[in-house]
Structure 1
Amino acid sequence: MSMLQVETDSLGRPIELYYEDIGYGPPVVLLHGWPFDHAMWEEQAFALASGGCRVITYDRRGFGKSSKPVDGYNYNRFADDLKSLLDELDLHDVVLVGFSMGAGEVVRYMSRHLGQRVTRFALVSTITPSIARSRDNPEGADEARFDDVCTRIRADRLAYIDQFVGQLLDGSGINPATVDWIRSLAVPASRIAMLACVRAFAETDFTGDMAAAINVPSLVIHGTEDRIAPFAANGRRTADLLPGSVFRPYEGASHGLFATHASMLSEDLLGLVRSPPSHTLPPSAF
């Protein structure tokens, strides 16, 4: 069990991140989605480590085994937490992989910290450039949807988790034991963190971050039937804003690609790691 202190709260109590570091080879850092923890990457971490990578996973503050402070749930802080981890482990030539909410952290890190230590990245089921409805994103969710999510979490957090996992997997036919396991990954999350993160990803537009920071090879993977972060509004728009990126639509897939398309996702991530260093990833690498 490894813990990294990233700061202290107003009373001097440590705020720590739980992380796991396995394997040998080029470093790959996996950022989990909301409201889960690092363990959602079990299949991909195993495949990457078996394929000759050093794999680092960690729990976002407020989730899993990390500290659960009452504040600090914004993308600048999340990007700073990621930087603290990369610096502490002194990682170089890193491949960053973000799923859903975690994809926003990757993009904010690339902008806020100028992509230090990173050579390429992947965004999986991304919520970038924005998940909320706006003039530029008419297919996004309106404010009432996010208000409803918060109301449900306050009323019965565990019932909401059950409903969300159903939406995440969207009739994919995954066995019940795996579904129960996925639900269990959200149980340790702080209610405060869950609510604050809804506001963080609902109110953050990453368009400027993407324009400022994207000068390394990138891979965008998105399900065409994603009903949490719609394909056109998030997957396609993100790929369009990343010149030279490789866009991998998963036909008929929903949001939870780490579970519904675990092997395919693992292979694509290995392809990203193994692709030759350049500013353009050849489609043949995947």
Structure 2
Amino acid sequence: MGYYVKVEPDVRIYVEDVNPNGQKTILFVHGWPANHKLFEYQFNQLPSQGFRCIGIDLRGFGKSDKPYTGYSYDRLADDIYAVVQTLKLENFTLVGHSVGGAISIRYMAKHNSYGVSKLALLGAAAPSFTKRPNFPYGNPIEQVNTLIQDTYKDRPKMLSGFGDLFFFKYVTVPFSDWFFQLGLEAAGYSTAAVLGSLRDEELFSDLGKIQVPTLILHGVHDQVCPFPLALAMNQGIPNSKLVPLKNSGHGLFWEEWEKVNQELAEFIG
């Protein structure tokens, strides 16, 4: 079932709540430039194992409201906090993919892991999406700037090119079209603004503040968030476990959905 949660006086976040009576709750935070539908292959299976699966659309994406501002990691983490408080979630597992993983890490640090008993990071864009003087593993800043420029110039073309980088395995034309449409559901300005946050923000000091068991799932062929990011997260987050996915790129939630679902179910217990 779907509904809206007000996170600011004029901003509502769309929530998809699958199996609300499930015994254990998982809150999913999607990556750029998609929405909660990214987790279709988790929502297909995990509810049958007794899990309540909640997917949110970040502001500016999917069915959520699309304000012109508010796309920093802090504000996006505050949106999650508002959803958690409104739904009165407790003892839940927070799952974040790509920039959703970065936002989940900021949530854990800023809101002291409020309500979260376990954290799972899927191809997370952390601790830094871009290269820095002390971190040579991310993407060149110039490459992100080009994505921003292309977003404003020809967003459909940009999304099509990004989809080509996303998956390691071959995807059918219909699947590629489906993925492309997810990106089109966002506003162009929010698509660009989150790219700006990915470019400018970092989470090095946030990692050590995570005090719950953490599962890191990361495709070894990831061209969007290179695998060394997973190694850095594993080193920086206490009580974390890294599971490399040897047949996945950035789209591990689909490319190895059976393994991802199995790892999540076993991790949550």
Q: Distance in 1 between matches of 2:97 and 2:212?
A: 18
Q: Give deviations 1:136-189, integer Å, cap 9, x for gaps.
A: 21122222111111111111101111111111014x122222221111111110
Q: Distance in 1 between matches of 2:30 and 2:3?
A: 17
Corresponding position: 1:204 with 2:201: yes
Moved more, 130-139 or 103-112: 130-139
Q: Residue 5 of structure 1 corresponds to which residue in structure 2?
A: 6
Match of 1:90 among 84, 88, 100: 88
Q: Distance in 1 between matches of 2:109 and 2:80?
A: 13
- Supply the AA of the counterpart residue of 2:11: I
Q: State the shift of 1:114 in Å.
A: 0.2
Structure 1 stretches of 4+ moved >3 Å: none
Q: State the shift of 1:244 in Å.
A: 2.0
Q: State the shift of 1:43 in Å.
A: 0.8
Q: Which runs of 5+ in 2 are unaligned?
A: none
Percent of aligned positions with the same letter in both sequences?
Answer: 29
Q: Give deviations 1:1-44, integer Å, cap 9, x for gaps.
A: 30111113xxxxx2100101121111100000100010110111
Corresponding position: 1:218 with 2:214: yes
Question: Would you say how many aligned residue pairs link Structure 1 and Structure 2?
Answer: 266
Corresponding position: 1:133 with 2:131: yes
Q: Residue 59 of structure 2 corresponds to which residue in structure 1?
A: 61
Corresponding position: 1:189 with 2:186: yes
TM-score w.r.t. the length of structure 1 is: 0.91
Q: Residue 31 of structure 1 corresponds to which residue in structure 2?
A: 29
Q: Distance in 2 between matches of 1:104 and 1:265?
A: 19
For the 8 Å contact 1:223–1:254, the answer to whether it is kept is: yes
For the 8 Å contact 2:77–2:103, the answer to whether it is kept is: yes
Q: Which runs of 5+ in 1 are unaligned?
A: 9-13, 275-286
TM-score w.r.t. the length of structure 2 is: 0.96
Corresponding position: 1:266 with 2:261: yes
The correspondence of residues 36-185 of structure 1 with structure 2, limited to 5 A, is 36-170=34-168, 172-185=169-182
Tell me, what secondary structure is at the counterpart of 2:118? Answer: strand
Q: State the shift of 1:252 in Å.
A: 4.0
Q: Give deviations 1:204-262, integer Å, cap 9, x for gaps.
A: 11011112x21110000111111111101x11111111122111001142111112111
Q: Distance in 1 between matches of 2:137 and 2:23?
A: 41
For the 8 Å contact 1:32–1:98, the answer to whether it is kept is: yes
**How large is the Cα RMSD of the aligned pairs?**
1.0
- Supply the AA of the counterpart residue of 1:70: Y
Corresponding position: 1:244 with 2:239: yes
Q: Distance in 2 between matches of 1:18 and 1:101?
A: 18
Q: State the shift of 1:105 in Å.
A: 1.0
For the 8 Å contact 1:239–1:247, the answer to whether it is kept is: yes
